[in-house]
Amino acid sequence: MESKSLPTKLMSNMKTYNHWAVFLSNNANKHLFIQQLLNGRSSGKLSEFNTLKGNIFSDHLINEIIEEEYRHDRVKVATEVNRSLRFLSGGEQRKTLLQYCLSKKPDYLILDNPFDNLDIASQQSFRTHLQEIASHTIIIQLVNRTSDVLNFIANAISIDNNNTIVYHSSSKAYLDQQTINNSFTGSIPSPIHNYVIENKTLVAFNSVSVSYGNKTILNNINWEINAGEFWQLIGPNGSGKTTLLSIITGDNLQGYGQELILFGRKKGTGESVWDIKDKIGYFTSSMTDLFSKHHTVEHMIVSGFLDSIGLYIQPSDLQLKLTGEWLSLINMNDLKQVLFSNLTLGQQRLVLVARAMVKHPPLLILDEPTSGLDDANASLVITLINKIAKESKTTILYVSHRKEEGLTPKSIFELKPTETGSIGSVFKTS
């Protein structure tokens, strides 16, 4: 389709009136919406885009281009230094892809959750960049989280779980009417057994550093995590959060030979990696890909007792009883025989948090548990995490780029990149 001139109305009011926010629930079929828009089949007020040329910006497109560049060993999206997207930071990837999309000279640009997985500084920089682009290109921003909406966007629609499009008088009007109800009745189920740790210190870094070749990732890290604490780990993209977690979980061999205490024992004094993992409940959104499509919700949670990917032995009566209590707590007891893959994204996250916590491990690591969730589902997950922190003895380590409203960690450990590797700082929240 050839690019056509923008209607006079769009040109005269573009900055203030003709950018659109599209608020999505997690079950909305955004791909159908995008295709209808790009193929000129929109209706209602959006039909004015049917004669215009559009382009899309998304993480999915970034991943597609990275795969294509790797497969053909060439740079498709040219950069000033002629490097593949996979070698750029998250912020650089987005700015480079944005320029590539704009080089096609679209009349409008669809932004699919453009701030997902970006740290705070990168988000702010990207927002400024988008505001500059909005002076000459119409922006249609798809968002799951209302806090992500660009402040210059006036028009708004929402797409609910039934793919019904609702028009709102403004973005502000939509935001003002949002109310979220989240609650869990009952208490956290009891632990199946009590872990014995030699002292209250679960993890202690004493001047721990990690390097790969000539590049130092973590520089002289000092950090102590004690029983019953609630921590949040923050830091910009590439600061070493994943490396730090791999040290704690025993997956990184560079923990050996350093002043590192894991669950009362110095690293390398005879413990196995399974001794360490037995004391950790772990959640990351990528875990979903590890499980077969044939696992039921009940089997998913029971497998948390065994730290297994799937269920291969007959669970005990007590394990099944406690699993039932967790299902009741998260209001999913009637879904226990439903396949995990058939749940909504929000339901899957609640199940995975319950799976990580079901054995009441000394340490619960939650790595980006709200990534990709809409406001309602994110609020449910945050409520469950706060409840676990309040009603159990488990230490929580919450990892996220995003500052979640309502989350109540007592301490924050921040990684700050320097030329000689990231250093760490501790902050108390109360």
For residues 56-83, one letter each, b for 16 or more C-beta atoms within 10 angstroms of the residue's C-beta and e for the rest, the string is bbbbebbeebbeebeeeeeeebebeeee
DSSP state of 26: T
Q: Mean per-residue pLDDT for 413-427?
A: 94
Who wins on pLDDT, 429 or 370? 370
Taking only the tens place, the pLDDT of each residue in 11-34 is 444 444 489 999 998 888 999 999
In this predicted structure, what is the pLDDT of residue 306?
A: 85
Q: Which residues pair with 396 in a beta bridge?
A: 230, 364
Cα 363 to Cα 187, 200, 278, 412: the distances in Å are 19, 12, 10, 16
% of residues, the chain, pLDDT over 70: 93
Confidence of residue 181 (pLDDT cuts 50, 70, 90): confident
Taking only the tens place, the pLDDT of each residue in 254-272 is 888 899 999 988 888 878 8
Radius of gyration over every alpha carbon of the chain, rounded to an integer in angstroms: 24
Q: Is the pLDDT reported for residue 35 higher than 70? A: yes
In this predicted structure, what is the pLDDT of residue 407?
A: 94
Say how far apart CA 75 and CA 73 lie, in whole Å.
7
Taking only the tens place, the pLDDT of each residue in 68-126 is 887 877 777 766 556 777 777 777 888 888 888 998 999 999 999 999 888 888 889 88
**54-57, strands of its sheet edge to edge:** 54-57, 108-112, 138-143, 20-24, 155-159, 165-168
Helix, strand and coil percent figures for the chain, each rounded to 5: 35, 20, 40
Taking only the tens place, the pLDDT of each residue in 293-351 is 688 999 999 999 988 776 667 889 999 999 999 999 999 999 999 999 899 889 999 99
Q: Is the pLDDT reported for residue 232 higher than 60? A: yes
DSSP state of 240: S
In this predicted structure, what is the pLDDT of residue 244?
A: 94
In this predicted structure, what is the pLDDT of residue 119?
A: 85
In this predicted structure, what is the pLDDT of residue 79?
A: 63
In this predicted structure, what is the pLDDT of residue 82?
A: 66
Q: Mean per-residue pLDDT for 198-227?
A: 92
Say how far apart CA 175 and CA 352 lie, in whole Å.
29
- Strand intervals (E) in 15-146: 20-24, 54-57, 108-112, 138-143
In this predicted structure, what is the pLDDT of residue 80?
A: 58
In this predicted structure, what is the pLDDT of residue 78?
A: 66
SS (H, E, C) 251-289: CCHHHCCCEEEECCEECCCCCCHHHHHCCEEEEEHHHHH
Who wins on pLDDT, 117 or 216? 216
Q: Is the pLDDT reported for residue 7 higher than 50? A: no
Q: Is the pLDDT reported for residue 3 higher than 80? A: no
In this predicted structure, what is the pLDDT of residue 16?
A: 46
In this predicted structure, what is the pLDDT of residue 73?
A: 77
